[in-house]
Amino acid sequence: MSEELLAGDAMTVEALKKIFDDAYMETSIDSDGDLVVKDGYRCFMRPDQDGRLLAACSIFGAKEGASPQAKLEFVNRVNDEVKLIRASVMADGRYFFDYYIPIEGGIAKKAVVLAVRRFLSCLRSAMEQDTDDIVA
């Protein structure tokens, strides 16, 4: 993987796809135009409009019958124990995890791949916090 810097304003979904394809990671572009990267878990990637941040997020379902209280306790455990990602419960009851990578001024392609791998690793750690078995 190249140490070549990619400028924030050159960070497009297509450029990201090439970076992850070159790293031999499974990728696709969904109907919303987001890059989907899969390595155990699936995450959606999109650079922000002003070229300062790259967003990585993942959505998980909740098991039928999981109470709102149990869901909040789960995301609170994740936020307490897995410091690098943010967990929340969406309005429809699903779980949302996100992570932001600063890209303003440029970032090495390798750093982007390593950051996303770290996010996916954090998702694994988050799932370990599901002690009530409420993530679908």
Which pLDDT score is estimated for 2?
55
Write out the residue range of the structural domain in which residue 53 sits. 5-128
Amino acid at site 81: E
**Tokens representing residue 109 in the block:** 């392609």
Looking at the domain assignment, is residue 44 inside a domain? yes
Helix (H, G, I), strand (E, B) or coil at 15: helix
With residue 64 as reference, give the H or E element that holds it: none
Backbone angles phi, psi at 31, to 5 degrees: -70, -20
Structure tokens at 129: 């916090």
Question: Does residue 98 lie in a domain region?
Answer: yes
pTM of the model: 0.91
Provide, rounded to the nearest whole percent, the portion of the chain with pLDDT above 70. Answer: 99
**Average pLDDT for the chain:** 94
> 4-48, pLDDT tens digit by residue?
888 877 889 999 999 999 999 999 999 999 999 999 999 999 998
User: Where residue 49 falls among pLDDT bands split at 50, 70, 90?
Assistant: confident
The residue with tokens 């135009």 is: 33
136 within a domain of the structure (yes/no): no
* Mean pLDDT to the nearest integer, 104-112: 92
26 inside domain: yes
Task: Tell me how far apart the alpha carbons of residues 12 and 8 are, in angstroms, rounded to a whole number.
Answer: 9
CA nearest neighbour of 59 among 91, 94, 33: 94
Provide mean pLDDT across the span 89-95. Answer: 98
Is position 81 within any domain?
yes
